[in-house]
Amino acid sequence: MKGELSNLAMDTQDLNKTNRRHCVHASLRQSSRLITSFYADAMHDSVLQGTQFTLLSTIAAMPQCTVSTLSDYLVMDQTTVTRSVKLLEQAGFIQFKKLKDRRKRQLIVTAQGQQALDDAYPLWLAAQEHIWAHLSEDDIKQILTLGNKLAALSKESTIK
């Protein structure tokens, strides 16, 4: 670096000064920390962490969900999913079911897991409503479509 602050975030006034000194990586991670904190506050009274809510609700909605299909869908490393679902299993929110293909383990939400989801849902929804009330439709669309753009970015990468 050249001795200047890397300006993770930008002020609205700085819009026209966008240049490559602003680190997209640092900025996005900061946003991730902020949104994580926001949802953590909103779901404080739930037994589920924000991330666990995402995992559990996805498992509940995916037919024939396994570690692999889950990690594909959420774009998480398989080993991360293995560890995360282990915590959900230990908490009693899911259980593993053996399949004919004995390498696979189907993930099934238990009654206790469904109850946790039902209890957490209004808290999650309140957080969502708050977001929709305070961010513009454009901002939200941008956030929700960013993943696709970044995935494309990695695929066509000529860097490595």
Partner DNA sequence: AACAAATATATGTAGATACATGTTTTTATG
Partner DNA sequence: CATAAAAACATGTATCTACATATATTTGTT
Nearest CB to its own copies, comparing residues 8 and 91:
8
**Rg of the chain over all Cα atoms, to the nearest angstrom:** 19
Nearest CB to DNA, comparing residues 17 and 126:
126
Q: Please, what is the minimum distance in Å from the beta carbon of residue 98 to its own copies? A: 24
DSSP conformation class of 66: B
Stretch that binds its own copies, among 84-92, 95-103, 146-154 (CB under 8 A): 146-154
Would you count residue 37 as binding DNA (CB under 7 A)? yes
Q: Which one of its own copies, DNA, none is in contact with 128 (Cβ closer than 5 to 8 A by kind)? A: its own copies
Residue 74, C-beta contacts closer than 8 angstroms, at least 6 positions apart:
54, 55, 58, 81
Distance CA 101, CA 119 (A): 34
Q: Phi/psi of residue 5, each to 5°?
A: -65, 140
Distance CA 124, CA 101 (A): 36
Q: Which residues here bind DNA, judged by CB under 7 A?
A: 29, 33, 36-37, 40, 49, 51-52, 66-69, 76-80, 82-87, 96, 100-105
